[in-house]
């Protein structure tokens, strides 16, 4: 009985003893930085590796890691250090602004400084901040005022307001000597895309292609003299289950004891591009870095009329007049074509010189990630001088009494007109549904796929050509 009471008393005494608090906060800034590496992905994501030399006394201390990204994903932060263990970390992004400072002083006193409009003399008066929500409410002496009747002077900056995004850590250091640490984390606000500029030659059978990497930094931090790498590919990310809270987020972890201007390599199922020199990416900046340059890349221009599959099972008569014919340029991404590089997805903008040797914009298209030996197919617009008129000349149901055994026969006439002074060839592509058989045709077709008939139709200068065909379709 007495032993139990004594044990309880000792336990109570231990519980009431104050827990030793960590000593003063130690800060590391960019002045301590020894190296910086940034890997940027296509999907508004980047991996930052920040290497610094710090000095901490032995024991538990608060380490303030300043100048991190304002859009850091704190749950991904990892501090690698041989003689340092991280027990807790907090991302402080409640930044110092006039509004934030005023909100922190609600219930406290500030000094209001008024300037006399005639004499310029300043008068100072104490005021208590009652509210800073949708405006300011102050108590001055025996009355209350809204708005700011002058300048506000604050005694100091609250400890929980930071002038820059900061990652604070409760760290247990095993040494008091200088030590090198590396903080790595994922952040949003950094992204890149490829932009290409292609210049067509006069004959439209070759292009000079220049590739640029466009970097955009809206992360809330600058990255000075960083080793820069770019990952081309679609990296899977787990979508968040809940929206990120607006208050400070805490994370507790236990630490364990052709001519190309960028080098390219395969990494996992992606491609990695490395810049051969350090680069600085400032906050709220867009930067372009040369990616590749390839001259006299052979290409092929095509005029394509794309049909539809809806008019093969019913009567339609007139299908279209002055139908648009698409203008495409196809480029083979191969070494034989002076190219042969993995091309990241982006926008290709195509230009051509006019008769006065002035460069003119002729169209653009977006490409996906394109490996070597694949083809780029760019739609640049619609032809102005080449048009088409299409009509259904005959239609009948041959047999069938249910949804799945109908047989139709239909005939079509397609007139292609050429208003140019040189001959053109139009590729007519017709997606024919069901089980089909060509019964009649004025020009031979190619069965490009199980549901596609393709004709190459030559149209003379300032002339026209008519394509007619009849097809049987079984459903």
pLDDT tens per residue, range 185-237: 999 999 999 999 999 999 999 999 999 999 999 998 999 999 999 998 878 88
For 160-175, the pLDDT digits (tens) are 667 677 888 899 999 9
Is 147 in the same domain as 254? no
Q: Are 166 and 39 members of one domain?
A: yes
Give the long-range contacts of residues 223-226, CB within 8 A, separation 24 or more.
223/36, 223/38, 223/48, 223/280, 223/281, 224/30, 224/33, 224/36, 224/280, 225/36, 225/278, 225/279, 225/280, 226/36, 226/37, 226/38, 226/278, 226/279, 226/280, 226/281
Residue 405: how many other CB atoms lie within 10 Å:
10
Q: Which residue has the higher pLDDT, 232 or 243?
A: 232
Q: How confident is the model at residue 2 (pLDDT cuts 50, 70, 90)?
A: very low
- pLDDT tier for residue 324 given thresholds of 50, 70 and 90: very high
Q: 252-255 long-range contacts, Cβ below 8 Å, gap at least 24?
A: 252/87, 252/88, 252/89, 253/77, 253/78, 253/86, 253/88, 253/89, 254/85, 254/86, 254/87, 255/79, 255/81, 255/84, 255/85, 255/86, 255/87
pLDDT of residue 332: 95
- If asked whether residues 105 and 231 sit together in one domain, one would say no
More confident residue, 116 or 254: 116
User: For residue 105, is it within any domain?
Assistant: yes
| Residue 395 covered by a domain | yes
pLDDT bin (cut points 50, 70, 90) of residue 401 is: confident
Flag the least confident range among 144-148, 199-203, 314-318: 144-148
- Residues β-bridged to residue 209: 198, 294
Residue carrying the six token digits 């700011």: 148
- Do 42 and 85 lie in one domain? The reply is yes
Whether 356 and 398 map to the same domain: the answer is yes
Are residues 36 and 88 located together in one domain of the fold? yes
Number of domains making up the chain = 3
Task: Indicate if the pLDDT at residue 135 is higher than 90.
Answer: no
Residue 201 lies in a domain: no
Check: CB of residue 168 under 8 Å from CB of residue 72: no
Which domain range does residue 34 map to? 22-95+162-188+223-238+245-281
Q: DSSP states of 240-281 as a string?
A: PSSPPPSSPEEE-------EESEEEEEETTEEEEEESS-EEE
Compute the distance between CA of residue 447 and CA of residue 453 in angstroms, rounded to an integer. Answer: 5
Instruction: State what percent of residues in the chain have pLDDT above 70.
Output: 88
**Distance in angstroms (rounded) separating the CA atoms of residues 77 and 48:** 10
In whole angstroms, what is the distance from residue 118 CA to residue 4 CA? 80
Q: Which positions ≥6 away from 374 have C-beta within 8 Å? A: 333
Residue 241 has pLDDT above 80, yes or no: no
Does residue 336 form part of some domain?
yes
- What is the reported pLDDT for 242? 56
Asked whether residue 146 falls in the same domain as residue 168, the answer is no
Q: Which helix (H) or strand (E) holds 197?
A: strand 190-200
Torsion over CA: 235, 236, 238, 239 (sign): positive
**Largest separation between any pair of C-alpha atoms in the chain:** 116
- Looking at residue 293, its pLDDT comes to 92
Question: Distance (Å, rounded) from C-alpha 65 to C-alpha 48?
Answer: 14
Which has more pLDDT, 252 or 184? 184
Pairing of strands 45-54, 33-41: antiparallel
Q: Is residue 10 part of a domain?
A: no
Average pLDDT of every residue of the chain: 86
Does the residue 16 lie in any domain? Answer: no
> Is residue 115 classed as helix, strand or coil in its secondary structure?
strand
Please indicate, yes or no, whether residues 385 and 466 belong to a single structural domain of this protein: yes
Residues in the chain: 475
Let me know whether 37 and 60 are in one domain. Answer: yes
The Cα–Cα gap between 58 and 60 comes to 7
Q: Are residues 302 and 377 in the same domain?
A: yes
Q: Mark whether 437 and 413 lie in a shared domain.
A: yes
pLDDT of 380 strictly over 90: yes
337 within some domain: yes
- Quote the distance between the C-alpha of residue 99 and its chain's center: 31
In a domain, 12, yes or no: no
CA within 13 Å, CB half, 291: 29
49 plus 173 within the same structural domain: yes
**Interval 373-397 mean pLDDT:** 95
- Which residue(s) pair with 152 in the sheet? 112
């Amino acid at each position: 009985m007495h032993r139990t009471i004594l044990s309880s008393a000792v336990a109570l005494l231990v519980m009431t003893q104050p827990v030793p608090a960590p000593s003063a906060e130690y800060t590391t800034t960019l002045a301590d930085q020894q190296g910086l590496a940034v890997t940027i992905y296509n999907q508004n994501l980047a991996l930052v590796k920040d290497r610094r030399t710090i000095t901490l006394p032995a024991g538990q201390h608060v380490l303030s890691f300043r100048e991190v990204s304002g859009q850091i994903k704190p749950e991904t932060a990892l501090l690698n250090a041989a003689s340092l263990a991280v027990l807790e970390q907090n991302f402080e992004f409640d930044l110092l602004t006039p509004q934030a400072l005023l909100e922190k002083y609600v219930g406290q006193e500030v000094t209001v400084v008024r300037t006399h409009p005639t004499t310029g003399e300043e008068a100072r008066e104490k005021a208590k901040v009652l509210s800073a929500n949708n405006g300011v409410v102050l108590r001055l002496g025996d009355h209350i005022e809204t708005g700011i009747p002058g300048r506000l002077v604050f005694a100091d900056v609250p400890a929980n307001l930071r002038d820059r995004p900061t990652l604070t850590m409760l760290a247990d250091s095993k040494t008091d000597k200088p030590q090198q640490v590396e903080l790595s984390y994922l952040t949003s606000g950094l992204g890149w895309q490829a932009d290409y500029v292609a210049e067509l030659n006069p004959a439209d059978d070759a292009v000079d292609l220049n590739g640029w990497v466009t970097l955009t930094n809206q992360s809330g931090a600058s990255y000075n003299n960083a080793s820069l790498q770019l990952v081309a590919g679609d990296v899977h990310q787990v979508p968040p289950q809940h929206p990120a809270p607006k208050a400070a987020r805490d994370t507790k972890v236990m630490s364990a004891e052709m001519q190309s201007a960028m080098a390219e390599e395969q990494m996992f199922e992606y491609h990695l591009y490395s810049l051969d020199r350090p680069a600085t990416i400032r906050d709220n900046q867009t930067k372009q870095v040369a990616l590749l340059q390839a001259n006299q890349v052979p290409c092929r221009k095509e005029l394509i009329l794309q049909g539809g599959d809806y008019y093969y099972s019913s009567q339609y008569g007139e299908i279209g007049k002055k139908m648009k014919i698409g203008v495409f340029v196809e480029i083979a991404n191969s070494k034989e074509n002076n190219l042969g590089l993995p091309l990241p997805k982006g926008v290709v903008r195509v230009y051509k010189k006019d008769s006065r040797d002035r460069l003119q914009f002729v169209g653009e298209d977006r490409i996906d990630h394109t490996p070597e030996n694949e083809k780029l197919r760019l739609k640049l617009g619609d032809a102005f001088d080449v048009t088409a008129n299409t009509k259904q000349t005959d239609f009948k149901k041959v047999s069938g009494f249910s949804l799945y055994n109908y047989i139709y026969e239909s005939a079509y006439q397609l007139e292609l007109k050429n208003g140019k002074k040189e001959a053109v060839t139009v590729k007519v592509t017709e997606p024919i549904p069901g089980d089909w058989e060509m019964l009649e045709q004025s020009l031979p077709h190619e069965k490009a796929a199980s549901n596609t008939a393709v004709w190459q139709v030559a149209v003379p200068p300032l002339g026209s050509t008519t394509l007619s065909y009849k097809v049987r379709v079984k459903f």
